[in-house]
Structure 1
């Protein structure tokens, strides 16, 4: 019998280490013949910690397992052979319902194999593609197969992968480089991290194939230092791949030579832009450079360099094993294959999903994500992170593909989906994302450095109730100037959250500016707290919990709030048992 514990960052944060430690103790105490293993995140982050009991072909998955629950599972299921159905969310006969409409290519091994054991990767067709490539295919044939697949870069821009590989291959020079951009920095995005934690060998294999196709001998994985578990598992995987001759010299008995090094970044969002990433790799400050020349002609130390992100490389082995036509059968005419998304925010079942391109947003958020928490009204979804835009409920049937998402004013980005409900203030949401991009600007461009700052100041003024009639027009004008005047993608896309919220939620801006009210009741400076005399029972609980001592009143008599003292913290609403607090 085997027990497998979800040991991705989400599982560990939810308490998986405590479960694993207690399970190890029980195995020793009860002298059980159990193979205890770990795995990455299967995508059901809302179920973590997750424990799989594997007995032959039978698999029982327990969700939200605690150290005390694992004792019950051991006694009932493992020792007495009686599964605890009330805690089981998936079996080999009835798998997770959330997986029903997913197509797992990038995530096929996540939550299934032990990412720290290369043998488990090999048993699941691992390195089969690399073996085929170096022994049976020419570099031109590899690039053609990627071309047939229609794979586009999953880092955000959606540029054809084959074209970048072909450009690097045709560039002059003996020294060429393959770079994996793992500098995932969007708030709410965790796709790349989960793939690196759950299936690092897929990324290594994809990079090695890219190296073979374009004639590169060395690769770099640029991963932010905030991903320590991903970096640790990458190191283990690289060492294992070298030992098995999947990396190094004369790979699998061929003349092909390729090795991979890890570069940890300090967490600068701008280093997600490829030329800024290259500058950081070279030991310089991460700042973008003018293009052309493009990295394929002059990249790392002026040598031909190809840069793709984690998800792009993770698709490559599957394509080379199953064929480009098979991959292209999924998706739409211009957006082929699948896309991994990180569902976060006000969605019931947050986590990782992988769906065919073209699936509607509604089907992702409601069909797979289970809808909005507490069954509140869906308001918008932010796609593309700080560089993306907010898509409103009237566009909920938009297909998820590059062209359709771009038409809404948002972008596909690397795959973050932050769901917002009726209580989200869209002006404050735009302010949040602009605050992020303003702080992350490298400062090289005047439009980006100063323009985003001026926009942020206006949004902060609007949220505090000091907005001016001309602010919306000024914001729109600044957005256009910053888009046109910025050197890299950070500045060029920074206005997107502002533009889309003004486009779809202009009435909220007008309410903040003209009537000094926040319709979502989130902007503290625009709120007024009062106590209903008819509903208040004079229990004094709100007065005791008020940190500003703004609530006065006698026991069993209606209380009042001193508006000058009130700091709008919301404590009174939290503790009131009679729904007597009104917020306007």
Structure 2
């Protein structure tokens, strides 16, 4: 049972050497650690079998006292899984199969590096040995992802060794209003998509009358191609729990809920383990650190409705009702769960909170731009060489993310567009590649930050069909409560289907644009208000493709089946 900061310090000192060896700061003579990714991506590629085979080889060579096999969360370089990193040397191996385990363990004693398992830079052919030497990692700055790929997410002691729960202990020595002021001064904004100032949200709830009050973690990540929150929960669940407890203290809440998708079994399992461990340690529950502050956390599983990512629909779902949004005000901070004050923050937002308390608001605000502070986690997917998970300072350009960190477009194809913000975002063309990634710049360009999904498209993608795909998703996920979204998205989809099947007219283009604006302005919640974004952005930047579909009955990308013939030249 942890009752004081000295107890935390004792645990930290016991387990820190293992972590320090992974950071290259300490080396135990003759000892090795093999960290194997156990995130969803690597698990689907066979990392569990790899871990088991490594353990067998360690036992066969009687190296149990000198070699430790440790599971971790996502390293981020998802395309290269399964990933294994050997410490203290820090050798980064990728696409490791269980058949490679024998050679890997055998090479530890002799210091032999298995060259065929090293990452090879596709541009230069260079094979760096360490993660820090690979540009994909060099260009990042990890705050929310600080522990992912570094610690065992199922061991609370490893989290504590990385200053875990120190921020909670420190927060409990300060007044709640001081904590809120620090979060406000940091410039942290909601990472779930809307970008509302986190400190302001906490301030509104702290000032609202009524008891009890609640803290809710929104882990209902439903954007196609998005896996940021899932990876944080899989790789560092305690950072989210600690952030929730700090939020509870600051706002006067004693109960928290994590609303997470049931389709995330690894994340759910690690959350459940983390909550049990924190309770046993006295870091959740009654009288935390002997201060009289009590806070508990429970998990609620979502059934996969995209609309439940909207906070009022999410709260209704927790209450056991149909997940439908409601008009605001009142806002959840004033009247949320069961009509009581409730603060709703997403996973990434909460993962930043302990670091801000530990390192200070000024430190955090030193990253990013004037209106968008800190860093942002993105998932890179689509037509890009380096698919995976990254974290960069706000203000990093799309060009650096896609062609620097992401490694550009595979197969020598030409970049065409990038979709930011998932189905609620927009498609930005090549001339917008130097746009800095922050809330204001993306909105001005006709897109949004969203939760952080970046899907890259090349010359083989049809932008009209892309708009149809995203609109079909949004229309299918509409809860149907308000007419503009329920009916409007259906009409928009009908128009897009006419255009992609060769039956569209020039009048359809005007109707498509006008109706998109109507749906945006009249819909009840964020799903309907942003559903037309893919249409409006593609009309803005790729109108010539729409005109080719309508006027020439021709799909330039050759995607739409009925429109693949060449246009007649006049």
Moved more, 17-26 or 253-262: 17-26
Q: Please name the residue that 2:278 is paired with.
A: 241
Residue 153 in structure 1 maps to residue 186 in structure 2: no
| Structure 2 Cα separation of the partners of residues 486 and 382 of structure 1 | 22
Query: How far did residue 30 of structure 1 move?
Result: 2.7
Residue 15 in structure 1 maps to residue 46 in structure 2: yes
Query: How far did residue 52 of structure 1 move?
Result: 1.3
Query: How far did residue 20 of structure 1 move?
Result: 1.6
Residue 80 in structure 1 maps to residue 110 in structure 2: yes
> Matched residue of 2:212: which SS?
coil
Residue 70 in structure 1 maps to residue 101 in structure 2: yes
| Structure 2 Cα separation of the partners of residues 420 and 255 of structure 1 | 54
- The answer (yes or no) to whether the contact 2:556–2:564 under 8 Å persists in 1 is no
Q: Where does 1:110-509 land on structure 2 (aligned, <5 Å)?
A: 110-134=148-172, 136-509=173-546
| Structure 1 Cα separation of the partners of residues 266 and 133 of structure 2 | 28
| Structure 2 Cα separation of the partners of residues 250 and 58 of structure 1 | 43
Moved more, 45-54 or 416-425: 45-54
C-alpha change, 1:516 and 1:344, in structure 2 (3 Å) is same
C-alpha change, 1:528 and 1:31, in structure 2 (3 Å) is farther
Q: Where does 1:507-546 land on structure 2 (aligned, <5 Å)?
A: 507-528=544-565
Query: How far did residue 44 of structure 1 move?
Result: 0.7
| Structure 2 Cα separation of the partners of residues 286 and 523 of structure 1 | 35
Q: How many residues align?
A: 525
Query: How far did residue 438 of structure 1 move?
Result: 0.3
Q: Please name the residue that 1:551 is paired with.
A: none
| Structure 1 Cα separation of the partners of residues 508 and 199 of structure 2 | 45
- The answer (yes or no) to whether the contact 2:324–2:481 under 8 Å persists in 1 is yes
Q: Over alpha carbons, which structure has the higher Rg?
A: 1
- The answer (yes or no) to whether the contact 2:92–2:131 under 8 Å persists in 1 is no
> Matched residue of 1:418: which SS?
strand
| Root-mean-square deviation over aligned CA pairs | 1.2
Q: Please name the residue that 1:4 is paired with.
A: 35
C-alpha change, 1:94 and 1:274, in structure 2 (3 Å) is closer
Question: Any gaps of 5 or more consecutive residues in structure 2?
Answer: 1-31, 120-127
Query: How far did residue 118 of structure 1 move?
Result: 0.4
- The answer (yes or no) to whether the contact 2:315–2:336 under 8 Å persists in 1 is yes
Q: Please name the residue that 1:36 is paired with.
A: 69
Moved more, 481-490 or 31-40: 31-40
TM-score normalised by L of structure 2: 0.91
| Structure 2 Cα separation of the partners of residues 11 and 101 of structure 1 | 22
- The answer (yes or no) to whether the contact 2:36–2:85 under 8 Å persists in 1 is yes
| Structure 2 Cα separation of the partners of residues 71 and 95 of structure 1 | 26
| Structure 2 Cα separation of the partners of residues 358 and 305 of structure 1 | 31
| Structure 1 Cα separation of the partners of residues 137 and 174 of structure 2 | 34
| Structure 2 Cα separation of the partners of residues 391 and 323 of structure 1 | 35
> Matched residue of 1:433: which SS?
helix
| Structure 2 Cα separation of the partners of residues 180 and 298 of structure 1 | 16
TM-score normalised by L of structure 1: 0.88
Query: How far did residue 24 of structure 1 move?
Result: 2.3
Query: How far did residue 92 of structure 1 move?
Result: 5.1
Query: How far did residue 84 of structure 1 move?
Result: 1.5
Query: How far did residue 524 of structure 1 move?
Result: 1.5
| Structure 2 Cα separation of the partners of residues 93 and 257 of structure 1 | 41
CA offset digits 1:127-180 (Å, max 9, x no partner): 11001011x211011001101100000011100000100111111122100000
> Matched residue of 1:58: which SS?
coil
| Structure 1 Cα separation of the partners of residues 513 and 429 of structure 2 | 19
